[in-house]
Amino acid sequence: MIIVLRRDATEAQIAHLVETIQAWGLTTHLSRGTERTIIGVIGDERTIRSKPLEAIPGVESVMAVLKPYKLASLEFQPEKTRIQIPPVKPGGEPVEIGGPSVVVVAGPCSVESRDMLFDMAALVQKAGARLLRAGAFKPRTSPYAFQGLGVEGLRYLAEVRAELGLPIVTEVMDTRDVEMVAEVADVLQIGARNMQNFNLLRAVGRCRKPVLIKRGLSGTIEELLMSAEYVLNEGNRQVILCERGIRTFERATRNTLDISAVPVIRRESHLPVLVDPSHGTGIWSLVSPMALAAVAAGADGVMVEVHPNPEQALSDGPQALLPKTFEKMMSELGAVARAVGRTL
C-alpha cells in the first residue's frame, strides 16, 4: 500500500501517521520526492485495508501496490536508490552506485594467488575501475573444477583492500559464511546459482552491507526483483541488481545477455542495475561491445573480468580481458557515458 501525502502535510502530521501505522504492527518506508512525499506500508493486507488511512490528517490518497514485489517497485519508492560505499581509507571518496556516474567493477574471476591479485587490482584501479571483483569461493558446475582459495583468498582480498584502498565485491555462497565474508567485502555478491537461495538472501538481508544479486541462469526479471524483495524485507535497502545473461537455445555465446533487462528494470524498480558482459557472453571479444551497449541502455555500471594470462586462468579464461583490452574498453566506455549524459 502507498500513502500519498498532501503537499501541505506538516512534519507533525507525517510523524503521527508513521507512528499510527507502526502501532498497527505494519512497517513504513518514508520517501521524499521533489514533487510528492509518500509512505510505503508493508504488512498484512487485511489489516491495511481495514484501517481508515484517508481519514488521517495529511493524507491525500491511498493506493495499492499491484506488483508482487513491493519494496523493490518504483511505485513504492519513486526516487531512484543511490548506494554509497564508504571510502576504504580516510580521506578517500565514497563510491556511489545509482548516481550520475557509471561504475566499473573489474578484476579476475577468482583469487588465484596473492601476487596476481595485487597486480590486477593495481591495474584496474589505475584504468578507472572503482571496485575490485574476485571470487574467494567459486560455485562451479563441475565438482572437479577449481573452487577458489576460500579463506586464504579472503585474506588476500583483505590485504589488497587495505593497501590500495579499493572496495571489494566478492561472492558469498553459504549462510554460515556471511559474517566472515562481510568482514572483508564492501559488497556481498549473490551469484546466479543462488538467486533463489532464500535462506541466503535473508541472511545477507540481515547484514548491513550492500548486496549485489545476479540474475539466475533461467530467472525472469520478475523473479530477480522478488529475490531482491527478500533482502529488502529484512531491512537492508542497499540492493544492486545484475544482468549476467540467461540460458536460451542460442549456442553462439555462453549465455544470452539480455540488454533489454536494463530499461525494463529501470521502469519497474528504483534499484540500481549493473551488467556483467563477461558471463553474459563467455567470449572476451564480445565483452567490450556488450559493455558499451549496457551503458547506452542505461546501466549504472558494468562488471568485467580481467586476467594477465587468460590461457592459464583457473576459471573462465575465455571471457577474461587482457589488461590492454580492458584499458581500451575503459576509454570507449567514457565516450558512451558522456553521450548519454553520464560520467565514468
- Kindly give the confidence (pLDDT) of every residue in the chain, 344 residues in length, as a single tens digit, with 9 standing for 90 and above: 889 999 999 999 999 999 999 998 888 888 887 778 889 888 877 777 778 888 899 999 988 888 999 999 998 888 999 999 999 999 999 999 999 999 999 999 999 999 999 999 999 999 999 999 999 987 666 776 666 788 999 999 999 999 999 999 999 999 999 999 999 999 999 999 999 999 999 999 999 899 999 999 999 999 999 999 999 999 999 999 999 999 999 999 999 999 999 999 999 999 999 999 999 999 999 999 999 999 999 999 999 999 999 999 998 999 999 999 999 999 999 999 999 999 99
Domain range enclosing 36? 2-63
Same domain membership, residue 91 and residue 134: yes
- CB–CB of 41/71 below 8 Å? no
Does 208 fall in a domain? yes
pLDDT value of residue 47: 78
Asked whether residue 69 is domain-assigned, the answer is no
Task: Please give the Cα distance from 160 to 6 (Å, whole number).
Answer: 51
**Number of domain units in the chain:** 2
Same structural domain for residues 129 and 256?
yes
Give the C-alpha separation, 330 to 304, whole Å. 11
| Grid coordinates belonging to 136 | 574467494
Same domain, 7 and 97: no
Whether 173 and 282 map to the same domain: the answer is yes
Q: Do both 207 and 334 map to the same domain? A: yes
Question: Which residues on adjacent β-strands are paired with residue 306?
Answer: 321
CATH number at residue 15: 3.30.70.1140
244 and 177 both lie in a single domain: yes
Q: From 323, 279, 312, select the one nearest 112 (Cα to Cα).
A: 312
93 exposure class (CB count in 10 Å sphere: 0-12, 13-18, 19+): exposed
In a domain, 74, yes or no: no
Structural contact between residues 77 and 270, judged by C-beta atoms closer than 8 angstroms: yes
Q: For the purposes of burial, counting CB atoms within 10 Å of the CB of 33, is it exposed (0-12), middle (13-18) or buried (19 or more)? A: exposed
